[in-house]
């Protein structure tokens, strides 16, 4: 039986025939305003890398008002970052955050503009091969999608969506296939241990996702597209607001006939999926200095899947085989923030209440008889924090205190039994940030967690950033500790061939990084080189033992999986390079490279973490900004994997994509993209097929309404 990837379209002409061509109905429509032609890289602000309550904006400044350049600011970077803060305050109802150049933490930010250029539909695709980041999924865009930072496990990365912890209480990680990207304003990838800020889960880093909010006149955007594998989808968003009240709502949907996830499947059946999401946010100024924000997000996913049941093998290792198994999952996130600024904004109180709920259902038909499975997890968190800002000779200070209370619960039911568990946690944290004459930026934080099921633990972190404008460099460094408590499923879960281990202890890590950011070409180019190193002890790994109740006379007794703590320290170290260059007003390039050395305490290379990864991008605007072209190439080096306790190797691969869009008018845009242009036959997880070359095209409409006088007109 030939590999499914060998039976693919032989030419782009045949490929593009799967896309419905969209006629240019709006020929001769008016051109939009000219694009900005600045040659400086834009400034970056960050919200998730500090406890400090970011600036709120109840009293806006004019959009043209820029903050004064700090003394000693590196040309084109720190100064631009400070201007970015002023612009963010003037143009957004969201908190502005901290300039990235003021933080010693290693950070990469993906903006809404980046997502639009790449035509990203699934948030995980925006993270592929960013510095220190690796992504794996079980073939389909709806399959389990895990993101790892700096060689850690998927549940070592904390995921925040509008400040709500989205990691499941059951497995401790976040399945990124549940996150569509239409309403995302910014993704902050914050690398290094962050438990001193966020507690458990933030061992290797934090992915902080901020969604778009309502501002300006009532507006509506809509998108519709279709393409390969019978994929069709769309989104609609309505938003608007002023300085006193604002709101936004987004609906997204994607469905596909899919492709066969079994690389040597004998049935040749397609594994389709559908994903839907609805999100909404609203806020209001209850008084000049009191602000409330509300956020809610619900996503639903249904997908067909194939199983590694041992019927098909490669070199003795099981592949995914054709089955009629299917799964569904739902995610609900809700959160509210109440903020009160006092003393002219120097004292800020924030009260937060969040809830996250995940439900996964599965019907396993790999062995004929249906085996149903349901896993529900829920978490609540209530927090109060206060930030006080003050100045002393030579220093500006920001001191933040935090107290939070968390509750987690999970409930698993399967054909093999059921289990449920609850646990609580209370955390106390404090952070100090100092600014020495706008020359040296320091931070230090500590957190103590009280747990009702584990021993209590204390974590800490410090960082420094030193912009040296005379040399165009910015040395930065950070060091800290991280803790990850065992997942509730590892301790109490129930399923076929799995034995929980209630005696597991938390994983503990200490990590540090140091690097230098270079700014040159009058602020048009930036290169950051960072070395990182971390040791992890009590690493939780899967072991295989003889299943309880097995026949002692059986020469090949069945094996069951069980989690254990490894003895000794596991090591992660490597180098991250991040570069951006604005070559011309309309041409920019980006480059990211990561070298990773990740081994466990037994000296065995960790799975699904490539030692070498690379990402290169080229962006080009033309026709006064009406047209945008983008090409990208992602390299994923050879890496190890594991199936049923047996090791496997995954070949390296390149993913090349091109995307383009053109604004026919201010209200109408046509776009298209081709993914996996080289038609690479690759695997991210051993035994699961991935999509070949694919093309998509669509239209985007934008309607902005305003009321001049008593009339209603469209801009």
pLDDT digit string (tens) for 328-354? Answer: 999 999 999 999 999 998 999 999 999
User: Mean pLDDT, the chain, as a whole number?
Assistant: 87
* Architecture field, domain 4-714: Beta Barrel (2.40)
Alpha helices for 212-347 (secondary structure H): none
**Average pLDDT over every residue of 88-98:** 50
Instruction: pLDDT band for 14, please (50, 70, 90 cuts).
Output: very low
The closest alpha carbon to 199, from 235, 160, 253, belongs to 160
Query: What is the model's pLDDT at position 414?
Result: 86
Buried b (16+ CB within 10 A) or exposed e, 565-575: bbeebbbbbbb
Cα separation of 48 and 18, whole Å?
A: 42
Q: What per-residue confidence (pLDDT) applies to 40?
A: 74
| CA 376-379-384 angle, 5° bins | 170
Using left for φ > 0, alpha for ψ between -120 and 50, and beta otherwise, residue 129 falls in left
Closest-CA residue to 518 (of 528, 508, 510): 528
pLDDT reported for residue 557:
87
Query: Which stretch of 26-30, 93-97, 197-201, 432-436 has the lowest confidence by average pLDDT?
Result: 26-30
Average pLDDT score over residue span 349-361: 96
Q: Which residues contact 584 (CB under 8 A, 6 or more apart)?
A: 39
Has residue 565 got a pLDDT over 70? yes
DSSP 681: -
DSSP symbol at 344: G
Cα–Cα dist 482/190, whole Å? 14
pTM of this prediction? 0.89
- Model pLDDT, residue 636: 97
Asked whether the beta carbons of 157 and 132 are under 8 A apart, the reply is: no
How high is the pLDDT of residue 386?
Answer: 96
Question: Two tokens at 12?
Answer: 């782009």
pLDDT value for 591? 97
**How many Å is the Cα radius of gyration of the chain?**
25
Q: What percent of the chain has pLDDT over 70?
A: 87
21 falls in which pLDDT band (50, 70, 90)? very low
Mean pLDDT score, 115-136: 96
SS3 162: coil
Residue 532 has pLDDT above 90, yes or no: yes
pLDDT category at 55 given cuts 50, 70, 90 is low
Pick the closest to residue 277 from 362, 177, 186 (CA basis): 177
Pairing, β 457-465 against β 473-484: antiparallel
Q: Is the pLDDT of residue 61 over 50?
A: no
pLDDT in tens, 170-198: 999 999 999 999 999 999 999 999 999 99
Query: Quick one: DSSP state of residue 479?
Result: E
Confidence of residue 35 (pLDDT cuts 50, 70, 90): very low
Identify the pLDDT of residue 58: 39
Query: Residue 165 belongs to what H/E stretch?
Result: strand 164-165
Give 591 or 469, the one with higher predicted confidence: 591
Q: What is the mean pLDDT of residues 108-125?
A: 95
Mean pLDDT, range 12-33, rounded to an integer: 38
Tell me which of 201-215, 368-382, 547-561 is least confident.
547-561
What pLDDT sits at residue 365? Answer: 84
| Three-state SS at 68 | coil
pLDDT at 250 over 80: yes
Higher pLDDT, 559 or 355: 355
Q: What is the mean pLDDT of residues 499-522?
A: 95
Average pLDDT over residues 652-666: 96
From the list 142, 258, 144, 137, the residue with the least C-alpha distance to 691 is 258
Q: Is the torsion defined by CA of 47, 52, 58, 61 positive or negative?
A: negative
Q: Which of 38-52, 452-466, 532-546 has the lowest mean pLDDT?
A: 38-52
Q: How confident is the model at residue 68 (pLDDT cuts 50, 70, 90)?
A: very low
């Amino acid at each position: 039986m030939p590999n499914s990837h060998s039976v693919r379209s032989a030419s782009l002409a045949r490929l593009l025939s799967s896309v419905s061509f969209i006629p240019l109905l709006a020929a001769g429509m008016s051109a939009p305003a000219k694009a900005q032609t600045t040659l400086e890289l834009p400034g970056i602000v960050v919200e998730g890398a500090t406890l400090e309550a970011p600036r709120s904006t109840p009293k806006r400044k004019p959009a043209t008002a820029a903050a004064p350049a700090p003394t000693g600011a590196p040309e084109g970077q720190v100064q631009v970052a400070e201007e970015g803060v002023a612009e963010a305050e003037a143009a957004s109802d969201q908190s502005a955050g901290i300039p990235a150049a003021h933080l010693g933490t290693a950070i990469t930010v993906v903006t809404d503009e980046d997502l639009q250029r790449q035509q990203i539909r699934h948030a995980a695709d925006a993270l592929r091969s960013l510095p220190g980041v690796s992504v794996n999924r079980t073939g389909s865009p709806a399959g389990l999608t895990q993101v790892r930072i700096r060689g850690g496990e998927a549940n070592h990365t904390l995921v925040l969506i509008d400040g709500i912890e989205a990691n499941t209480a059951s497995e401790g990680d976040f399945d990124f296939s549940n996150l569509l990207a239409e309403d995302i304003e910014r993704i902050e990838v914050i690398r290094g241990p962050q438990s001193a800020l966020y507690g458990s889960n933030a061992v290797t880093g934090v992915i902080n996702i901020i969604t778009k909010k309502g501002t300006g006149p009532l507006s509506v955007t809509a998108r519709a597209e279709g393409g390969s594998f019978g994929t069709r989808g769309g989104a609609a968003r309505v938003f608007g607001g002023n300085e006193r009240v604002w709101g936004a709502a987004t609906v997204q949907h994607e469905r596909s006939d899919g492709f066969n996830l079994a690389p040597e499947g004998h049935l040749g059946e397609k594994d389709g999926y559908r994903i839907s999401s609805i999100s909404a946010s609203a806020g209001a100024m209850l008084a000049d200095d009191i602000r409330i924000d509300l956020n809610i997000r619900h996503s639903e996913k249904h997908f067909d899947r194939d199983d590694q049941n041992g019927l098909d093998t490669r070199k003795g290792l099981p592949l995914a085989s054709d089955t009629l198994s299917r799964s569904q999952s739902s995610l609900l996130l809700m959160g509210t923030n109440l903020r009160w600024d006092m003393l002219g904004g120097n004292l800020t109180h924030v009260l937060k209440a969040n809830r996250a709920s995940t439900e996964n259902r599965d019907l396993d038909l790999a062995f004929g008889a249906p085996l149903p499975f349901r896993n529900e997890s829920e978490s609540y968190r209530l927090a109060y924090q206060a930030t006080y800002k003050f100045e002393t000779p030579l220093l500006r200070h920001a001191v933040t205190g935090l107290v939070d209370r968390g509750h987690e619960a999970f409930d698993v039911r399967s054909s093999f039994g059921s289990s449920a568990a609850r646990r609580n946690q209370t955390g106390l944290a404090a952070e100090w940030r100092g600014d020495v004459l706008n020359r040296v930026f320091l931070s230090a934080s500590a957190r103590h967690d009280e747990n009702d099921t584990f021993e209590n633990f204390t974590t800490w972190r410090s960082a420094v950033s030193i912009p040296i404008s005379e040399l165009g460099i910015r040395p930065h460094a950070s060091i800290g500790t991280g803790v990850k408590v065992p997942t509730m499923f590892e301790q109490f879960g129930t399923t076929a061939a799995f034995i929980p281990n209630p005696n597991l202890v938390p994983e503990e890590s200490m990590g540090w990084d140091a690097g230098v950011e270079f700014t040159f070409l009058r602020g048009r180019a930036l290169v950051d080189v960072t070395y990182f190193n971390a040791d992890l002890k009590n690493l939780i790994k899967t072991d295989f033992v003889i299943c309880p109740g097995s026949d002692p006379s059986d020469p090949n007794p069945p094996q069951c999986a069980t989690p254990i703590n490894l003895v000794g320290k596991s090591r992660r170290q490597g180098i991250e390079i991040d570069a951006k260059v604005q070559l011309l007003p309309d041409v920019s390039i980006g480059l990211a490279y990561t070298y990773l050395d990740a081994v466990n305490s037994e000296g065995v290379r960790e799975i699904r973490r490539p030692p070498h990864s690379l990402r290169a991008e080229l962006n080009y605007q033309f026709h006064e900004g009406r047209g945008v072209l983008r090409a990208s190439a992602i390299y994923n080096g050879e890496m190890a994997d594991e199936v049923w306790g047996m090791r496997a190797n995954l070949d390296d691969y390149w993913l090349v994509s091109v995307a383009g869009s053109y604004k026919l008018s201010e209200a109408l845009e046509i776009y298209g993209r081709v993914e996996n242009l080289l038609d690479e036959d690759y695997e991210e997880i051993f035994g699961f097929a991935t999509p070949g070359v694919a093309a998509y095209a669509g239209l985007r409409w934008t309607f902005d309404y305003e009321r001049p006088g008593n009339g209603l007109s469209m801009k």
